[in-house]
Structure 1
Amino acid sequence: ALNSHDGSAAFRIITTPIRVVCANTQRAAISCARSSFTVRHTAGAKARIAQARTALGLTFKYAEEFEKAARRMVEAEMALGELRSVVDAIWPVTPNDSKQKRTNTEKRWGQISYLFEQAENQAAIRGTRWAGYNALTEFVNHEAPSMGKTDDDKRRARAARIISGSADSLMEKAFALTTV
């Protein structure tokens, strides 16, 4: 649920698997929302809230389906070779591609395979399809190269990429390719 608290924007309820903790994740949650309901701060707001309660029945169904998919992914093993196939499908490389692109591809693979096999935050899910999906999204959100002279500039560029939604299609494709 999102609210401006001063009445300047509508109260919004969205269905999303993204946990909102900052403006970046709020933007990602809004752009990935599977359903939403808006209530403007007007005299008819109470009636709209009653409608929202009915509409939220569908929201809970989406959340349940996402949870089932995530649970299946946690329970399904994923070998490193399978993850490599997913990476190659998301970022295809051909023999005619430049040496720089092939070098970048191997650097990307090194980072993603590290996240999958060794990252501390993957310990509880290591070797699962859920770990594969999380390695991919962590790479896209936190590790992927970005423009900037300083580390702070690069972090800002990554945040802008997330806020703009330009990384959404990659993460959706990662989910589709790792879901069982």
Structure 2
Amino acid sequence: MSTTIDVNTAFAAEKTAQIESVRERERAFEARVDRGEIRLLGGDRYEVLTGWDRGESFTVSRNAQGEIEAIIARHGLDERADGTIALYASSPAWHGLGQIIPGGTTDIDGVLALSGLDFEVTTVPALYRWGEELREHADQRHTVRTDTGAALGAVGRKYTPIQNRQGFEFLQELVGKFDVVWESAGLLRGGKRVFISIRLPEAVRVDADAINDIVVPYVAVMNDHSGNGQFQCVVTPWRPICANTERFAVRDAVTRWAVRHTKGAIDEIKEARRTLGLSVHYFERFAAEETALARTDIAVQEFHDVIAELWPLDDDAKDRTLTNHANRLGALDGMFHTETERVGRTAYAAERAITGYLDHVAPRRPGKSMTEELARATAVMEGADDELKTKAHRRLLLLRQG
């Protein structure tokens, strides 16, 4: 017996559900204001008063009816004197912040100027006062911005700064030759760490014949002026649907290239042109392994077993540790359920839940000069969880072989 569906009724029901969802979000937001968790700063800007993200500000975007359309977080990127964010983006990537140029640009100097990276770094003697005398530490120097005089870090005598333009100009050739797109550029912590990322032209498709999940391929280039890091290029798969950074090691492919700040560094950076070719191979392997996970069914208990290996719990764990463990498991279970509704109960859904948890939910203790959101963004950019993501990826691949 066939069943007739009234499309008008179905559409009306769907529209009613959407309207109720908007109203529920509005009620939840107003409830947070009433409880004193957030407060209005003026206009559409609010400040968070409680929790890990205390002190962070955000903007609420509303439609013509006054309903909330989006909550735009401030990520803590450095501001210029005119109040604009020190970030260039070819599209409204970082939640609409930064200097937006539709369609991007192929001019490296334009990118550096728009992102606030058009400064140089020099080294000056490290001085200390001994009684009435000012002495020099012969084996140590300080890195300093030549435009503002701001100190960036303490370094050794042989340290040679890699200037922003020197480090990033090899990307100019890639932009013109391989049709890649300048995606974003910015500086953190007053210029101690700077970055540029480029988007490769071809998206990666996971399990193209089934779920056809889209992953956008990037190459991020980072320069450190504090003395605590290297100049490095990393391949960075990004999943737009949930903003997860899916960076982990895959078999027989290079994920990261780095060089120390020395006199010969610039010559070595020229070799970074190979990064594009290496990244293409990486993304081919990445798509193959992710497709294998997408075709591997997984039971909830198997998912819990993987979590137990990633975050082992001692038999004599304290109550606080047990509570944190339970909260983590609950969050991961909820994210796993959400993923399974879209891509099935597979190892791929399990991996998406784990990477999503690490990127967006796992607690971050920000430093004194950082918001939690900035600490989270920095951890993602610098790959703080890459090792844990790799461990999860490799463990889930074993289920395919079992």
Question: Normalization by structure 1: what TM-score?
Answer: 0.70
Change (3 A) 1:154 1:59: closer
Q: CA deviation at 1:90?
A: 0.5
CA RMSD, Structure 1 to Structure 2 (Å): 4.0
Q: Percent of aligned positions with the same letter in both sequences?
A: 19
Partner of 1:75: 295
- Alpha carbons 1:17, 1:63 under 8 Å: kept: no
**Map of 1:34 onto structure 2:** 255
After superposition, the C-alpha distances for 1:34-60 in whole angstroms (9 at most, x for unaligned) are 2669xx999xx8xx89x849x82x544
Secondary structure of the corresponding residue to residue 237 of structure 2:
coil
Matches within 5 A, 1:101-180: 101-117=321-337, 119=338, 123-147=341-365, 153-179=371-397, 180=400
Q: Quick one: distance in 1 between partners of 2:358 and 2:390? A: 11
Q: How many residues align?
A: 161
Equivalent in the alignment of 2:285: 65
Alpha-carbon shift at residue 93 of structure 1 (Å):
0.3
Q: 1:85 corresponds to which residue?
A: 305
Equivalent residue, structure 1, for 2:318 = 98
Runs of 4+, deviation exceeding 4 Å: 12-15
Structure 2: stretches of 5+ with no match in the other structure:
1-105, 110-163, 175-218, 220-233, 259-264
Query: 1:146·1:154 contact (CA, 8 Å) conserved in 2?
Result: yes
With a CA cutoff of 8 Å and minimum separation of 6, indicate the structure with the bigger relative contact order. 1
Residues 148-174 of structure 1, C-alpha deviations (whole Å, 9 max, x = no match): 6xxx93222222322333211111111
**What is the rounded CA distance, in whole Å, between the counterparts of 1:173 and 1:77 in structure 2?**
19
Instruction: Note closer, same or farther for the CA distance 1:153–1:90 as it changes in structure 2 (3 Å cut).
Output: same
Q: Is the 8 A contact 1:25 1:163 kept in 2?
A: no
C-alpha distance in structure 1 between counterparts of 2:386 and 2:321, whole Å: 22
**Larger Rg belongs to:** 2
**C-alpha separation between the residues in 2 aligned to 1:86 and 1:63?**
24
Asked if 1:5 is matched to 2:223, the reply is no
Distance 1:17 1:153, change over 3 A: closer
Change in 2 beyond 3 A, CA 1:84/1:166: same
Name the aligned partner's letter for residue 140 of structure 1.
Answer: L
Q: Distance between the aligned counterparts of 1:67 and 1:82, measured in 2?
A: 23
Q: Structure 2: how far apart are the matches of 1:35 and 1:108?
A: 29
Q: How does 1:18-33 map to 2 (within 5 A)?
A: 18-19=237-238
8 Å Cα contact 1:35-1:59 kept in structure 2: no
Within 5 A, what are the aligned runs for 1:44-63? 52=274, 56=277, 59-63=279-283
Measured in 2, the distance between the counterparts of 1:104 and 1:97 equals 11
Write the deviation string for residues 62-93 of structure 1: whole angstroms up to 9, x where unpaired.
32222111111111111111111111000000
Could you say if the C-alpha distance between residues 96 and 124 of structure 1 is closer, same or farther in structure 2, counting changes exceeding 3 Å? same
Q: Letter of the 2:389 partner, please give it.
A: M
1 or 2, which has the higher helix percentage? 1
CA distance in 2 between partners of 1:85 and 1:4 (Å): 50
